[in-house]
Amino acid sequence: MFQNNPLLAQLKKNLHAKTPRVEGIVKSTERGFGFLEVDAQKSYFIPPKNMKKVMHGDKIVALLKIEQEREIVEPERLIEPFLNRFVGKIEKKDNRLFIIPDYPFLKTLITCQPNKNCSAFFHHGDWAVAKLIKHKLRGDYLFYAELIEKIISEDDPLTPWWVTLARHNLDKKEPLFEKNDLILKENYPRKDLTDLDFITIDNSNTKDIDDALFIHEDLNGQFYLTVAIADPTAYIKQDSKLDLIASKRGFTNYLPGFNIPMLPRNLSEDICSLNPNKRRPVLACNIIILKDGSISKNVDFFLAWIKSKSKLSYENVSDWLEKSSTWIPKTKSIEKQILLLHRLCLLRIKWREVNAVLFKDSLEYRFHLSDEGKVIDIFIEKRRIAHKIIEEAMIIANISAANFLSHHLGFGIYNIHTGFDLVNAENAVTFLKNYHLYFTVKEITTLKGFCKLRRILNMLSNSYIDSRMRRFQSFGDFSIMPGPHFALGFSKYATWTSPIRKYSDMINHRLLKAIINKEKPIKPSEDIKLKISEQKRRNRISERDVSDWLYTILLKKKKYENKKFKAEIIDIARSGMRARLIENGANVFIPGVFLHPIREELIFNQEIGKVFINGIVQYKVSDYIDVTLSEIRQETRSIIAKPEN
């Protein structure tokens, strides 16, 4: 009777139109239900039956309904799936293949099969790259994925590296090359500096050596520093096959235990590397550092041949300068070079302390791995005097390059940092007043004012204030046009000292050469700048992901059970605190349930970085506390800790 009734159809349409809808991101829980997060303050409950249509992270439109006097949502339309290309672990049941995505809160078994281009055989426990093809909210009756490639077998020691690189779609091996790629392509005239006592200082195991130094001093106390940098662009023509590969990779990817080079190892670790007693082509500059520590504007860039007289290590040079070992330089001329570079370093540190921004010394953690890739332990490394010698020399060289490029071209690849944006500058000024530090927004948004603020904070040495200021600061970036680097305290900064490892430095090499040889330079595009920024971000995340994985493997060892660790609180989250173990650098999470049994009396204030219990501050960022490890979750690479009372 009511079939095909136009009035009934219109009524249904009107009711459908009046049903309120919300848009947001699905957040699942381990208990089967979920929430639709509309914004930072508002979320709606998704019952378990409705969660079967969606996955954690999906962006959806949902119908807003009332069930049993409670607001719930029913997923209606998929805007963007969380999964597209993803990494997961294979499960095999009754000769059928399933894949579990390698993400926290995603426990769905997704039916899968290899696609037509994938010839690998998959076994239970294998890791694979897959692509989601079917989604229930698109009208499909199941979630379905195609397997694109096999990554690695279960329990292979290299799993953390290969899975992480596959997840971020990063290269696993060095670039392939042809014989022609190893031949010098340039015939520009070069100065012969092979008789000068150039030295290199690096880690003892470094093979891709890209900087060498020579220094002398005149009777007036001025230093004359020659910085010689390896010259891969002499072998790699712009827009050649190898150049395009380097531009895509952007950087040598340094991961715990090994690296994946931007250039073929034959180039980066041999032909271009400034190995001792080997004649090498370089791009060099002569820089005068005045008696007060400032850099003369009279800088000369040129092409040259050099022959490093010695490969020195940070450890040996630092030990010798600190008189803490039996190692000595093998010749008097090398000894003289070290002593002059040391004096220059101290002079520049003193100058930067007054005129720019000094870095705070921090601990670095390095994994000790077996030849098979198994985690043995963690080494703690500090920045010692030899590290600072090279650091100061490279800073001098990069300032000089930035000024040289700006004067002659007005463009290049510059490292910039804008300090505070207007809103964060206002927040910073308000925050600082609480500690009787009085600045204006106008003041701290200038380079001079920012440097003054940083110097005062360095003198105060208050870790909590430092952490809040970092939260207000902008992130560093690349720019084609000259701009200030507030965090360093310089009006311009452009790196060119690591062309073996950074494509941005290769670009600057070509621009500097164009000036030297009076050729027309090719201005870098915004696209290449964005590609470099994105690749840097992906490399940084991959390094962190591998480290997190290795930490869970290391800390599962029996000797760490019930051990008390000192930890620094580094962040306050919505439901707990994040901290770093001082002994080994591992990041841990401390849930609120371990801080106070009554959730209503517990407040986590992310903005000010403090935890309140009954209105009283109990913890804050930068506090040191004792913790023990409660749980190590290998599948999510997370470490749960609880404070010691």
pLDDT tens for 360-410 read 888 899 999 998 888 999 999 889 999 999 999 999 999 999 999 999 999
Closest to 620 measured CA to CA, from 586, 571, 566, 574: 571
Which pLDDT band, with edges at 50, 70 and 90, does 195 fall under? very high
- Residue 354 in tokens: 């007054």
Q: Report pLDDT for 6.
A: 59
Residues in contact with 110: Cβ distance below 8 Å, sequence separation at least 6, in sequence order: 88, 98, 99, 100, 101, 130, 132, 143, 144, 145
Domain extents in the chain: 19-80, 85-155, 179-416+484-545, 422-474, 560-643
- At residue 255, does pLDDT exceed 90? yes
Closest to 528 measured CA to CA, from 243, 259, 264, 255: 243
Phi/psi of residue 363, nearest 5 degrees: -80, 145
Sequence letter at residue 597: P
SS3 of residue 65 by DSSP? strand
CB 590 within 8 Å of CB 638: no
- At residue 11, does pLDDT exceed 60? no
Which numeric CATH code is attached to 19-80? 2.40.50.140
Closest to 257 measured CA to CA, from 166, 174, 160, 175: 160
Q: Report pLDDT for 306.
A: 98
**The domains spanning 85-155 and 560-643 adopt the same CATH topology:** yes
- Residue 563 in tokens: 């051990």
- Residue 71 in tokens: 């607001």
Q: Report pLDDT for 10.
A: 53
Total residue count of the chain as it appears in this document: 645
The residue to which tokens 């360093």 are assigned: 488
Q: Is 292 in the active site?
A: no
Domain 560-643 matching CATH 2.40.50.140: the answer reads: yes
Tell me which DSSP letter residue 297 carries.
Answer: S
Q: Is 211 in the active site?
A: yes
Closest to 230 measured CA to CA, from 183, 269, 173: 269
Of residues 202, 231, 243, 319, which has the active-site annotation? Answer: 202
Alpha carbon of 374 to those of 171, 427, 541, 583: distances in Å? Answer: 21, 46, 21, 20
- At residue 1, does pLDDT exceed 60? no
- pLDDT tens by residue, 268-291: 999 999 999 999 999 999 999 999
User: Mean pLDDT, to the nearest integer, of 21-35?
Assistant: 90
- At residue 244, does pLDDT exceed 60? yes
- At residue 7, does pLDDT exceed 60? no
Q: Report pLDDT for 576.
A: 95
User: Mean pLDDT, to the nearest integer, of 442-454?
Assistant: 96
- Residue 439 in tokens: 């600045």
* Element spanning 345, H or E: helix 332-355
Sequence letter at residue 264: P
Q: Tell me the HSE value of 550 on the side-chain side, using a 13 A CA sphere.
A: 28
Q: Tell me the HSE value of 466 on the side-chain side, using a 13 A CA sphere.
A: 16
Residues in contact with 102: Cβ distance below 8 Å, sequence separation at least 6, in sequence order: 86, 87, 88, 89, 127, 163, 167
> Residue 68 class from Cβ within 10 Å (0-12 exposed, 13-18 middle, 19+ buried)?
exposed
- At residue 108, does pLDDT exceed 90? no
- Residue 497 in tokens: 């000292």
Of residues 58, 102, 197, 211, which has the active-site annotation? Answer: 211
Of residues 126, 197, 208, 231, which has the active-site annotation? Answer: 208
SS3 of residue 390 by DSSP? helix
Of residues 44, 314, 365, 503, which has the active-site annotation? Answer: 314
SS3 of residue 543 by DSSP? helix
Alpha carbon of 442 to those of 379, 457, 492: distances in Å? Answer: 44, 18, 20
Which numeric CATH code is attached to 85-155? 2.40.50.640
> Residue 115 class from Cβ within 10 Å (0-12 exposed, 13-18 middle, 19+ buried)?
middle
Share of the chain above pLDDT 70, in %: 97
CA dihedral 273, 279, 282, 287 (to 10 degrees): 110
Q: Report pLDDT for 15.
A: 46
- pLDDT tens by residue, 32-50: 899 999 987 888 999 999 9
User: Mean pLDDT, to the nearest integer, of 157-181?
Assistant: 93
pTM, 2 dp: 0.91
- pLDDT tens by residue, 51-79: 999 999 999 999 999 887 888 999 999 99
The C-alpha atoms of residue 282 and residue 191 are separated, in whole angstroms, by 10
Q: Is 470 in the active site?
A: no
SS3 of residue 151 by DSSP? strand
The C-alpha atoms of residue 433 and residue 423 are separated, in whole angstroms, by 16
Phi/psi of residue 88, nearest 5 degrees: -160, 180
Could you count the other beta carbons within 10 Å of the beta carbon of residue 367? 21
Of residues 126, 197, 210, 319, which has the active-site annotation? Answer: 210
Q: Is 208 in the active site?
A: yes
For the stretch 463-467, contacts whose Cβ atoms lie closer than 8 Å and that sit 24 or more positions apart, written own/partner, are: 463/622, 464/609, 464/620, 464/621, 464/622, 465/432, 465/435, 466/622, 467/570, 467/609, 467/621, 467/622
Residues in contact with 174: Cβ distance below 8 Å, sequence separation at least 6, in sequence order: 260, 261, 263, 264, 265
The C-alpha atoms of residue 261 and residue 513 are separated, in whole angstroms, by 24
CB 476 within 8 Å of CB 423: no
CB 148 within 8 Å of CB 130: yes
